[in-house]
Amino acid sequence: MTLGKMFKLPTKVGKFAMAAVALATLASGTVAQAQTQRLAFSGGPDGGTFQFFSNGISILMSKSMKNVDVSNMASAGSVENLRRVNSKDADFGIVYSGDLYLGINGKLTNDANRYRNVYAVSYLYGAPAHLLVREDSGITDVAQLAGKKVAVGPAGSGAAASAQRFFESVSLWDKISPQYIGYSQGASAIGDRQIDALWVFAGFPNASVIQATTSNKMRMLQVYEAAQKGTLATDHPYYAPVTIPAGTYPGIDYDVVTVQDSALWVAGRHVDEALVLEATKEVFSDKGLDFMRSVSAAAKAMTVESALLGVVTPVHKGAQTYWTEKGHSLTESQK
């Protein structure tokens, strides 16, 4: 072997080594990319509180959890989210406690399916019913809505389902003309006199209700008073009275006593326990809660102490671990 060849050999080896390192680096990058968990969070319609919360939690999880990328999905709302999470079309969602309870037990309206792959993670906020009419409509009582067009939320949404339960309980569902449109569209429609009343089932203050009450003189009807005359409390015991204080919305200078359901963060049975545990820790950390409250004023209801408020169905094992560590005792229905 010549001396020249002896010196060329290390150079070739060096080139092969560099190529090997480059391939290894590319491969490791590909592996790292493959290890990123891409998850979906099903939220709600534009202008609704669900969408603010789902987007906020998605951003928070993506930024604070390593190798996790959560995308926010638009949705018709609660019932659609329940179905998506149950079928693994989404990993997380926001579902009303009532819809979750009824869905697990096969008692949703016109749907006897049992959605048993969906578990609660935590309480987010109370979602009260807002029922608005124009001030000049002459309508001062829920009973006067017979024969009227009422926007109840998109078809398949929790708002529409809650509206049906309420109006059925006061024997009005078959007497009103429900309009299945979203909150923002409904706020515009009531101002344009295309509808007579607007039902919004969301945390307060709600952007679409602000839109409606800012643009036109509105009246909010006393929903709880009407509910007491019907069968809501008996048929749907998870609804509770709540007061929307005077001054919450422009022109509404009186307390409005209405009913509320609890909006819950839920996760699918298929979502890993360790991931749910970490996500719950991040969202309910001081930093996480500060971020959520910057996203929506309704997030002020999110606290470690109130985490299981309104939860009457099983809690995801990962979340169970966290809440037990925080001193919560789970009820039999939450286990």
Cα 205 to Cα 248: distance, rounded to the nearest angstrom: 6
Query: Do residues 131 and 258 touch, judged by C-beta distance below 8 A?
Result: yes
What is the structure's pLDDT at 31?
45
Q: Band the pLDDT of 331: cuts 50, 70, 90.
A: very high
Question: Which residue spans of the chain are classified as CATH 3.40.190.10?
Answer: 37-124+263-334, 127-261
Both tokens of 16, joined, read: 């092969």
pLDDT at 47 over 90: no
What is the CATH T-level fold of the domain 37-124+263-334, as seen in this structure? D-Maltodextrin-Binding Protein; domain 2 (3.40.190)
ω into residue 45 within 30 of 0, thus cis?
no
Close Cβ partners of 16 (under 8 Å, ≥ 6 residues apart): none
Cα separation, 57 vs 94, whole angstroms? 11
pLDDT surpasses 80 at 7 = no
240 against 324, higher pLDDT: 324
Residue 269 banded pLDDT, cuts 50, 70, 90: very high
Q: How many helices (H) and strands (E) does the chain have?
A: 12, 10
User: Average pLDDT in the 50-58 region?
Assistant: 96
State how far the Cα of 222 lies from the Cα of 232, in Å rounded to an integer. 14
pLDDT for res 312 = 87
What does the pLDDT read at residue 196?
98
> Alpha-carbon distance 230 to 137, whole Å?
24
| Rounded Cα–Cα distance for residues 153 and 24 (Å) | 54
What gap in Å lies between CA 206 and CA 61, rounded to an integer? 24
Structural fold of domain 127-261: D-Maltodextrin-Binding Protein; domain 2 (3.40.190)
Report the alpha-carbon distance of residue 237 to residue 229 in Å, rounded.
15
Percent of the chain scoring above 90 in pLDDT: 75
Mean of the per-residue pLDDT values of the chain: 89
State mean pLDDT over 136-141.
96
pLDDT of residue 34: 53
Q: Which of 9-13, 62-66, 140-144, 253-257 has the lowest mean pLDDT?
A: 9-13
Residue-wise pLDDT for 216-266, tens only, equals 999 999 999 999 999 998 888 788 888 999 999 999 999 999 999 899 999
Interval 69-97 mean pLDDT: 96
pLDDT of residue 18 exceeding 80: no
Q: Which pLDDT belongs to residue 147?
A: 97
Determine the average pLDDT of the residues in 66-77.
94
